[in-house]
Amino acid sequence: MLHWNPIFIKEIRQNARMKKTAVMLILYNSFLALFGLFAFYLTFRRTGNTLQADYADVLTMYGIITGIEFVLVLAIVPALTATSIATEREKQTLDILLTTKISRRGIILGKLASAISIMMLLVISSLPIISVVFSIGGITLGDIMVFMFLTLIAAIFAGSIGMIFSCLCKKTVTAIVASYLVLIALVGGLPFLFFGPEIVAHFRAYGNYWGLYYGASEVTYQSRVVVFILNPFFTFLAMVNQKFLLGGDFFAYLDPNKRVTAFIAEHWFSLSITVQAFLSACMIEVSSRLLVPGDKEGKLVKKRNRR
């Protein structure tokens, strides 16, 4: 018989009854729909009275819409998971939760699964917006399924980061801020840290972007680009570039001197997903070990164990 995680069931029922879930669905899809309509307007305005559209523009529009949705996922998930354990601690219900028969890993998985389910509900509800591009052509059902799978992995990865800080921090605000700082540093900080000074130096020397893009400069990135396997947004860019060739030669831009092995470049999408999934599992395990009672209760437990 199938046994569902009781924490997951409790959180799902609670979220389904809350008004903020409906408000989040409305705001999420309204923003995405408005952006999609604007992208459609810009795409078909070029056709004039010909009633024809360039498929390259349609594919670009698909990449932009899914990119906006992917960024929204990375922006929402940490807030959902960072508050899970920290809220229980602030309400002084964590100690009671730990006295149940549910294991600490089960509590973490239940909290994380409930947050991911809300995020996937938002993504699934936005399928009609993406399906408009699908109806025009150039996008297959498999492409949408790959995007859904990537979104799930990215949501688990970002949610695991929020879960760790939710277990570490005593205050909800502190956990949220710390989660976003780490995610911002991972998504935007790594590119600036590794390539920022060299790109700035190139601009000063050449005064343009295209020479850097096509590998005409003497900037040497070497194999440091492998660090971007940890970056969920670069995984999305690799998926879009591999399927639709949007953005030009993605890896030539990152590594014009071909220092990255051909295997990593060709399997970047699958490798990055595997690494991020493995790190998510590690962070879930660490979170379960960090999940301990309050300070006073924790000291009492340690004293009893010593005796």
Summarised one tens digit per residue, pLDDT across range 179-235 is 999 998 888 777 676 666 655 555 555 554 444 444 444 444 445 666 778 888 888
In terms of Cβ atoms closer than 10 Å to its own Cβ (0-12, 13-18, 19+), residue 133 is buried
Q: Select the more confidently predicted residue: 177 or 243.
A: 177
The verdict on residue 67 lying in a domain is yes
Residue 57 lies inside a defined structural domain of this protein: yes
Is 302 domain-assigned?
no
Number of structural domains (the chain) is 1
Given this model, what pLDDT does residue 54 score?
57
When pLDDT is averaged across residues 5-24 and rounded to a whole number, the result is: 84
Give the residue among 144, 158, 159 at the shortest CA–CA distance from 240.
Answer: 144
How far is 180 from 80, CA to CA, in rounded Å? 12
Query: Do the domain assignments include residue 153?
Result: yes
CA distance 99 to 144: 43
Q: Is 307 within a domain? A: no
Nearest to 239 by CA among 262, 270, 263: 270
Whole-prediction pTM: 0.79
* Higher per-residue pLDDT: 78 or 239: 78
> Which amino acid, residue 77?
V
Domain membership of residue 292 as a residue range: 6-296
| DSSP letter, residue 223 | G
Among left, alpha and beta (phi > 0; psi -120 to 50; other), residue 208 is beta
Within-domain flag for 305: no
Model confidence pLDDT, tens digit, residues 155-166: 999 999 999 999
Backbone angles phi, psi at 30, to 5 degrees: -65, -45
